[in-house]
Amino acid sequence: MASPCVVLVDTNDAFLGAEVGEIVKTEALRIEAKFSRYRPSVVTHINETAGDALQVDDETADLIDYSMECYTLSEGLFDVTSGALRGAWKFDGSGRVPSEDQVRDALRHVGWSRVTWERPILRLQEGMEIDFGGIGKEYAVDRALALAAAHTRAPVLVNLGGDLRVSGPRQDATPWTIAIEDVDRVGSATGILELLSGALATSGDTHRFVRRPGVRYGHVLNPTTGWPIADAPRSVTVHAATCTEAGLLAKLALLQGARAEEFLKLEKVRAWCVR
């Protein structure tokens, strides 16, 4: 994770603060290492073994089950095998756009329907890859917070690069004050949020995109078509009970493109979008 991580503990006990910080850091690093796409990890092992069957551990199996559920509920929009589309879409700032054939080729290695999953045995087709990047960070927030909350009753806030969750209100039932960063001016706040419970997750499309006349294609790709979502909000921030849920809803909203706000309103999600 390249974004800053913060742990806040509402207590007078400095030692407790340090302990909780350590617990959160250990858990976050553990998850990052286990599901990293770059360094040797469970995920890289799965991707290298694509084409053959392999057995995964319980935690990975849980994440795969969850990914499959999200795939079904989103009717294919959320797909952890969509990473292979990077072969076609480079987003290197050149504004170059792949041809239909290139996209079609990349799509042949994408799609959860091509995966054989019978817990605990997983089998990807050759050339496919999985990537838990879309759910890993939020999962880490929830897991880390659970460990912290098991360790102390003091109110805790865990923030891993903007995805955060609180264990409850601060002492005296006052809310946590969260500053929302301005999308265009890093470092300056565009709004203040007062959080009593639950989690916040943000999904964004700001930095890498391709502009065509009248349409802005972000780097979020639709795994069923292989093409980017048009007119998605630049960022969607969602409030939900858990960070995992908030993160998924934010991504699903982004995947609705121009209809992001309607989707959020229909699902009665507390959220806000920036366009």
Summarize as ranges the residues that interact with another protein (CB under 8 A): 61-63, 65-66, 69-70, 73-77, 97, 100, 119, 139, 142-143, 146, 180, 183-184, 189-194, 212, 215, 222, 224-225, 227, 229-230, 233, 237, 239-242, 244-245, 248-249, 252, 255-257, 259, 261-275
Question: Toward another protein, which CB reaches closer, 19 or 261?
Answer: 261
Q: Which is nearer to another protein, 17 or 244 (CB)?
A: 244
Least distance to another protein, CB of residue 221, Å: 12
Q: Which residue, 17 or 88, has its beta carbon nearer to another protein?
A: 88
Residue with Cβ nearer another protein (125 or 222): 222
Q: How far is the CB of 126 from another protein (least distance, A)?
A: 27
Q: Is 257 left (phi over 0), alpha (psi -120 to 50) or beta?
A: left
Other CB atoms within a 10 A radius of the CB of residue 43 amount to 24
- Strands (E) across the chain are located at 5-9, 53-55, 116-118, 121-123, 156-160, 163-166, 176-181, 189-195, 198-204, 209-212, 215-221, 228-230, 235-240, 270-274
Q: Cα 47–48–52 angle (5° rounding)?
A: 90
Of 17 and 228, the one with the shorter C-beta distance to another protein is 228
Largest CA distance in the chain: 61
Tell me the closest approach of the beta carbon of residue 179 to another protein, in angstroms.
Answer: 8
